[in-house]
Amino acid sequence: MNSPDSIPSKKIMAVSSGGGHWVELLRLKPAFGNHQAIYISVSDLYREDVPDRPFYTINDATRWNLIGLLKMAFKLIKIIRTENPDVVISTGAAPGYLALRLAKRFTKARTIWLETLARVENLSLSGRKVKPYADLWLTQWPYENRPKKLQYKGKVI
């Protein structure tokens, strides 16, 4: 049997937009254990939440801001190519969707989408669109009529 110390360390890239998405992502820190966690979000103020880890700031954008999304995508491509993560995980929204999609294109990283806790009755737009790019697609609510691939394993908050 393998002990936790014998498990090879993985590089985990944790990505989210701000506010509640960031809070939920921080709640996952203990799950990363001794792995190399790298954080990406939309405010440099969040750097102080992970002072012992690499942190990248990207711009925030929505589907209504094509120029902002392109700028975000190019920044994420640069970070993904530089860091070459083993796993990319996100709690949303646009930054996480793009990170998972780009990681699938440019790396062999496994991808995990954790739908925000705020989406009680249905999935977010990013959550619906990320399905083809998420190796593990999770919800924090036990929906009765959830899509086939979507899994419920509990809440982070």
First-residue to last-residue Cα distance in the chain: 31
Query: What is each CA distance from 50 to 40, 75, 88, 135, 144, in whole angstroms?
Result: 10, 20, 17, 26, 36
Q: Is pLDDT at 1 greater than 50 in this prediction?
A: no
Q: pLDDT at position 57, please?
A: 98
Question: Which CATH number does 4-152 carry?
Answer: 3.40.50.2000
Q: Is pLDDT at 149 greater than 70 in this prediction?
A: yes
Tell me, what DSSP letter sits at residue 71?
A: H
Domain ranges (residues) in the chain: 4-152
Q: pLDDT at position 136, please?
A: 93
Q: What is the pTM of this model?
A: 0.89
